[in-house]
Amino acid sequence: MNNKERGSIYAGIDIGSITAKAALIKDNRLLATHVILTGYDPINAGIKVFEALLKKAKISKKDVPAIVSTGYGRASVSFADKALTEIICHGTGAYFINPEIRGIIDVGGQDSKAILLNAKGQVENFAMNDKCAAGTGRFLEVMAKALEVELNQLGDFGLNADKPLKISSICTVFAESEVISMIAGQQKRENIIAGIHDSAAARVAILANKIKIKKPVMMTGGVAKNKGMVAALEKRLGLTLIVKDFAQENGAIGAAVLASKL
């Protein structure tokens, strides 16, 4: 097998705690991506997302000489040639999309991280949230449920706040009961949501500050689709975040790029 062959297609599969993402690259260009819910079975999610992607790109598995898996479920993708962490994959993905990028903020379902890249696109340093769910997609999911808002609508709601409230608890469970008492106190949903975004942004900003993030900064991960969260983070960090179309699939894209170098 000659991986370096021209015209070869490489795949990356990112199994996150909430969604499974897959990407294909060919001749150093993005060919296709696909996203599904991970569900309770990460092994099955890996197979399903890859099959759907192949179908979308109208190719078969034998056209793909190398696959790299990543994400918390990276070890469950048995057909991958190598498993690498989200850190290096998000770093590589961001650099692939825009080689100017020096800082990355990735907020995923189970963890959030800040990554520092050097001019060669190598990871210089990174910081991850600790064991707690504060400042992750899971935190936003719990809050969306409490407020009976669809997760993908959370962002727009948050942008329409007139008087953002403050959530003081860091712990997701305590923050949820704080939110519930705000609902009971008849506070406007928009204002509560803005408070939730700021609370999560504050946690993520700590990670960025810890590694002294450098501009330009790209935001990746599913939460990058949440405009309210992006705005809250920009405010906290005092800089503009670059959000590209495939922010959620960025880890899978990076994995595909790394597969091409195996």
- Residues in touch with other proteins (CB under 8 A): 72, 84-88, 111, 122-126, 128, 130-131
DSSP for 91-105, please give it: HHHHHHH-TT--EEE
Closest CB to other proteins among 111 and 198?
A: 111
Closest CB to other proteins among 8 and 136?
A: 136
Asked if the peptide bond before residue 65 counts as cis, ω within 30 degrees of 0, the response is no
Closest CB to other proteins among 115 and 182?
A: 115
Give percent helix, percent strand, percent coil of the chain, each to the nearest 5: 45, 20, 35
Compute the radius of gyration of the chain from its Cα atoms: 19
Q: Quick check: helix, strand or coil at residue 240?
A: coil
Minimum separation from the CB atom of position 224 to other proteins (A): 20
Closest CB to other proteins among 41 and 130?
A: 130
Say which residues have a Cβ less than 8 Å from residue 69's Cβ, sequence separation at least 6.
12, 13, 14, 15, 46, 75, 76, 77, 80, 82, 83, 84, 255
Minimum separation from the CB atom of position 72 to other proteins (A): 6
Minimum separation from the CB atom of position 210 to other proteins (A): 9
Residue located via tokens 């712990």? 171
Minimum separation from the CB atom of position 201 to other proteins (A): 21
**CA–CA distance from 196 to each of 178, 190, 192, 247 (Å)?**
10, 10, 6, 22
Closest CB to other proteins among 158 and 251?
A: 251
Q: What does the alpha-carbon distance between residue 114 and residue 150 come to, in Å, rounded to a whole number? A: 27
Say which residues have a Cβ less than 8 Å from residue 238's Cβ, sequence separation at least 6.
none
Closest CA to 78 of 109, 110, 44, 33: 44
Closest CB to other proteins among 124 and 141?
A: 124
Minimum separation from the CB atom of position 203 to other proteins (A): 15
Closest CB to other proteins among 71 and 195?
A: 71
Minimum separation from the CB atom of position 45 to other proteins (A): 16
Minimum separation from the CB atom of position 39 to other proteins (A): 17
